[in-house]
Amino acid sequence: MNLTIENILLVGSLLLLVSIFAGKTSYKFGVPTLLLFLGIGMLAGSDGIGGIRFDDPKIAQFIGIVSLNFILFSGGLDTNWSSVKPILWEGIALSTIGVLLTAVSLGTFVWYITDFTIYESLLLGSIVSSTDAAAVFSILRSKSLALKTNLRSTLELESGSNDPMAYVLTIAFLTLVIHQDKGFLTIIPFFLQQMILGGLAGFAFGLLSKYIINKIKLDFEGLYPVLVIAMMFVTFSFTDFLGGNGFLAIYICAVYLGNQDLIQKKTILKMFDGLAWLMQIVLFLTLGLLVFPSEIIPYMGIGLLISLFLIVIARPIGVFISLMFFKMKLRRRFYISWVGLRGAVPIVFATYPLLAGIEKANMIFNIVFFISVSSILIQGTTLSIVAKWLHVGLPEKVKKLSSTDLLLRGSPRAEMEEFTITAQCYAVNKKIVDLGFPKNAIIAMIKRDGRYIIPSGLTEIAANDTLIVLADKPMVFDEVCSTLEKQKI
């Protein structure tokens, strides 16, 4: 089947419906949801029962980049800075040194066992060097896997922040493959430019985005997520225009915004959570359509060998060496090594050699695809088992929702208390977004003149208001009281 304007919406919507319904029951059989999406795309492709012929790496790459914007931004918004701060340097070490060591060790192995040149081998190693944010976020969260002492935060921080490093290495070694006369040292200025400009731009756009979101007055609540989407794409594209790393910029921007007081923050978080899932489905379906299973079969043997080396040797080398200066139990290091999930990101990066037209581009793409599938299948299905085996998981009875999850889901276990605002209170005539309210408490309703108001960040507190406040534990109400009852100066 050839895709046309007349049938693309019908085909696309049917694939989405099938993916959602299939994903609902996939974990009952131990199959990761993302792998199922990929399989549905392959079945719908030209080698499958759907017969849809899709062979355009450029469009696939565009869809991949747009999807990664949403996935990384959503992951950044959901990152709790208080949880990340204690393990920040471990996460940075994993996402930079760990990625580099993984790429080099795997590239050396590929060079040794194949007829690839050293630069082609390092290019392949770079493409699969980072853990996949979509795979890690979706599998950890869908399994509700509770891990000890910030281990989950470490894994999510690494997966959300290591794609920029893999992207830089991929582009750098692709350049060396194309221009054989250039030396290895020529990629160092490119690397520094990408990472420094990307980091600075991300923080700068985070500050700018917060200012715009809180100062602009939009008439409709639904426009605020649209505004954030616009700022996300501006951050990515402008950073890329400056020569920085757009993926790093949007992740840093999102982490900053996710830990600030924003107008309509609840609406924004829920919208991006849904969009991130949509983009994961679209991305995996697209990549499934792009691949031809008949072309992968000849590379299954070499692909499995490379995949096993990556899982058992290259990834642990990157993890253990990058974390050697940090105090951490051995079993935690082993578990971090095991959660080296590869997913859609390597496949997206593998389209760059295809578009560049290098000699072994098709071989690299098919090997990368096989590595990603085998990684999700082998590692993704065993996360809970390995966590129990290494004793890094929490028992079921002590698993708890985070404060944010608790409040967003409206859990009946949340504590509730009422606060009456006197004329002398600090909060009078101030917008909720400007109060500096505790992170793990929300104003659910305001009783004013005998009627109830559902507030937003722009709502101003008035004298004689009664605030109905939800918090995850009673002691938080002391912070709420201090915030509201500061005396006017």
- Read off the pLDDT of residues 271-309 as tens digits, 9 standing for 90 and up: 888 888 888 888 888 888 888 877 888 888 999 999 999
**CATH top-level class of 403-484:** alpha beta
- Domain 8-398 fold: Na+/H+ antiporter like fold (1.20.1530)
Q: Return the closest-CA partner of residue 67 out of 37, 23, 103.
A: 37
**pLDDT confidence of residue 408:** 43
pTM above 0.85, yes or no: no
Ranges of CATH 3.30.70.1450 domains, the chain: 403-484
Q: What angle do CA 242, 244, 250 make, to 5 degrees?
A: 110
What residues have CB less than 8 Å from 40, skipping those under 6 apart? 15, 18, 19, 22, 285, 288
Residue range 14-48, pLDDT digits in tens: 777 776 776 555 555 445 666 777 777 777 776 66
Encode 117-132: b = buried (16+ Cβ within 10 Å), e = exposed. eebbbbbbbbbbbbbb
Structure tokens at 216: 């602009």
Which of 119-128, 171-180, 365-374 ranks highest by mean pLDDT?
119-128
CB-based contact 419:484 (threshold 8 Å): yes
Average the pLDDT over each of 117-121, 141-145, 247-251 and give the range with the smallest value: 141-145
Ranges of CATH 1.20.1530.20 domains, the chain: 8-398
**pLDDT confidence of residue 31:** 52
